[in-house]
């Protein structure tokens, strides 16, 4: 028995202990491949005559948060969503193929929920038994709900931590929930911000998620340009849902509201969800930063077939000091052919070549070594990195000649039996070489880290380092045009792990 999508019915009796949650999730992990909806309910009445009722808000939030925490550990590959649909007849976005419920569940409740969710007649039903370990249930205290509630976040790749936050806001709202989604200016200090989806896409994902969880209240999904948003302009907002690390932000909001003569908002704080799958350098909580890091080395965009090109060609690019050379060396050690176009360009500059004459004619003899007559690239670099038009002139001369040498080297590696070849080129995207490749891989690095490396490695001043970096396209531009992204921000071993993952995944999609 297996299904892509399943619905788990979970009785909140005694605020179910973790053993009950874990038993259900472990079963789901063996029979469900993609997503698991969860409906939490309470029951009243005598045995075999019980009826389905809505759990208290405290029961719902306690059970939801523990379920998401357990899901992150036990079923990290499953998309788990706790629904808050009560006395509603709505179809879900995905067809439920399997119903999971405890053996002790009352048939009348099961049947009423099947009808409420408009589940198909072909539905498979799988019962399980949860062993009682004698754990003490969590105390069920009352929790106030409000007409108008608010919360905010990045909501980049909605993960289980986001779901706890959103679920609390939904459960504590009678009429409306206002959700702020941070824009680019608010995310400038986020790790791997280049991998974040555009704000409008994130807002649309939040809208789709909350409306599926509970469609009977109003949602206002707004862009946050600052930490306050509508909480300091909308007097009707009554409650703010925050996480443990953003409680100070809630206090600041209330301070601003009092200054404006608004009533203070009630602050409801949720616990952070621990990330049991994190690496040593990652955050302890489930976070968007951790999720973005897990995208490194994976295929972010479809590849180009290009069956006539051989061998399989991948462009390896990145800004100055981004670590692309060390990545290239590791790929070469794994069996790839490697062409360093920057080294090939040295041949283009050599005295006696046609390109040499063009460069000297364009930039003058001041770029030449007084004894050898060879082009001194540092002198040439000082000119072109300070003048964009000069840089464009140089590229128009050097790129075509370098491209010919790259093609010659590709033919040599193909004849040697190399199935995959990487072309390392700092200006690969600017040169428009994508049409000659199957994939583009980019190495990215925060500007501050790149400046530090250039100062240490090249003995540059901060001003010189910034000038070099700012003369190139930024990492956001590279990411938008890349199939695979790597980041060399952390320890060398972390980079190597990314490279090895990317190489392994590449083998699976090679033609």
E strand or H helix at 221 = strand 218-224
3-state secondary structure of 243: strand
Domain at 146-278, CATH homologous superfamily: HUPs (3.40.50.620)
**312-509 classified as CATH 3.40.50.300:** yes
Q: What is the pLDDT of residue 132?
A: 62
Q: What is the pLDDT of residue 131?
A: 66
Fold equal for 3-128 and 146-278:
yes
The 10s digit of each residue's pLDDT in 87-100 is 777 789 999 999 99
Residue with tokens 């976005």: 93
Q: pTM for the complete prediction?
A: 0.87
What mean pLDDT, rounded, does the chain reach? 90
Q: 130 or 75: which carries more pLDDT confidence?
A: 75
Q: 237 or 367: which carries more pLDDT confidence?
A: 237
Query: What dotted CATH number matches 3-128?
Result: 3.40.50
Average pLDDT, stretch 138-160? 87
CB neighbours of residue 76 within 10 Å? 15
Residue with tokens 């050898």: 372
Give every CB contact of residue 2 below 8 A, 6+ residues apart in sequence: 31, 32, 33, 98
Task: Give the residues across from 101 on adjacent strands.
Answer: 127
Q: What is the pLDDT of residue 48?
A: 54
Average pLDDT, stretch 264-282? 84
Calculate what percentage of the chain has a pLDDT beyond 90.
61
Peptide bond into 221 cis (omega under 30): no
Report how far residue 136's alpha carbon sits from residue 21's, in angstroms, rounded to the nearest whole number.
14
Domain residue extents for the chain? 3-128, 146-278, 312-509
The 10s digit of each residue's pLDDT in 405-420 is 999 999 999 999 999 9
Q: What is the pLDDT of residue 387?
A: 85
Report how far residue 231's alpha carbon sits from residue 161's, in angstroms, rounded to the nearest whole number.
22
For 192, left (φ over 0), alpha (ψ -120 to 50), or beta?
left
């Amino acid at each position: 028995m297996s299904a892509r999508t399943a619905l788990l019915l979970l009785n909140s009796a005694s605020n179910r202990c973790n053993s009950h949650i874990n038993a259900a999730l472990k079963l789901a992990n063996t029979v469900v491949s993609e997503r698991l909806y969860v409906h939490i309910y309470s029951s009243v009445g005598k045995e075999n005559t019980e009826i389905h009722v809505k759990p208290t808000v405290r029961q719902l939030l306690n059970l939801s948060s523990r379920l998401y925490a357990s899901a992150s550990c036990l079923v990290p590959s499953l998309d788990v969503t706790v629904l808050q649909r009560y006395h509603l007849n709505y179809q879900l976005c995905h067809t439920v193929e399997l119903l999971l419920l405890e053996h002790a569940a009352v048939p009348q409740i099961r049947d009423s929920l099947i009808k409420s969710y408009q589940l198909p007649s072909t539905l498979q039903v799988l019962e399980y038994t949860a062993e009682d370990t004698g754990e003490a249930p969590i105390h069920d205290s009352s929790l106030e709900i409000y007409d108008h509630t608010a919360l905010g976040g990045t909501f980049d790749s909605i993960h289980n931590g986001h779901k706890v936050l959103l679920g609390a806001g939904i459960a504590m709202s009678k009429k409306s929930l206002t959700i702020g989604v941070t824009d680019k200016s608010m995310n400038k200090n986020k790790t791997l911000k280049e991998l974040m989806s555009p704000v409008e896409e994130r807002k649309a994902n939040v809208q789709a998620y909350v409306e599926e969880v509970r469609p009977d209240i109003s949602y206002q999904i707004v862009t946050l340009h600052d930490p306050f948003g509508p909480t300091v302009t909308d007097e009707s907002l009554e409650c703010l849902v925050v996480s443990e690390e953003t409680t100070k932000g809630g206090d600041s909001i209330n301070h601003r509201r009092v200054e404006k003569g608004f009533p203070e908002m009630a602050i409801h704080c949720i616990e952070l969800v621990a990330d049991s799958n994190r690496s040593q350098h990652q955050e302890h909580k489930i976070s968007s930063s951790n999720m973005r890091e897990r995208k490194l080395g994976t295929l972010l965009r479809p590849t180009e077939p290009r069956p006539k090109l051989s061998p399989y060609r991948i462009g390896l690019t990145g800004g100055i000091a981004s670590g692309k050379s060390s990545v290239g060396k590791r790929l070469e050690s794994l069996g790839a052919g490697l062409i360093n176009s920057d080294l090939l360009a040295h041949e283009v500059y050599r005295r006696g070549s046609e390109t040499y004459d063009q460069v000297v004619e364009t930039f003058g003899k001041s770029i030449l070594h007084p004894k050898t007559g060879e082009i001194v690239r540092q002198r040439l670099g000082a000119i072109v990195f300070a003048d964009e038009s000069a840089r464009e002139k140089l590229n128009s001369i050097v790129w075509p000649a370098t491209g010919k040498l790259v093609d010659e080297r590709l033919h040599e590696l193909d004849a040697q039996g190399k199935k995959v070849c990487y072309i390392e080129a700092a200006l690969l995207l600017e040169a428009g070489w994508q049409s000659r490749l199957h994939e583009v891989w980019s190495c990215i690095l925060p500007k501050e880290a790149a400046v530090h490396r250039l100062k240490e490695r090249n003995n540059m001043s901060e001003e010189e380092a910034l000038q070099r970096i700012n003369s190139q396209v930024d990492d956001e531009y590279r990411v938008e045009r890349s199939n695979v992204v790597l980041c060399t921000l952390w320890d060398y071993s972390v980079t190597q792990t990314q490279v090895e993952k990317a190489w392994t995944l590449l083998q699976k999609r090679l033609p």
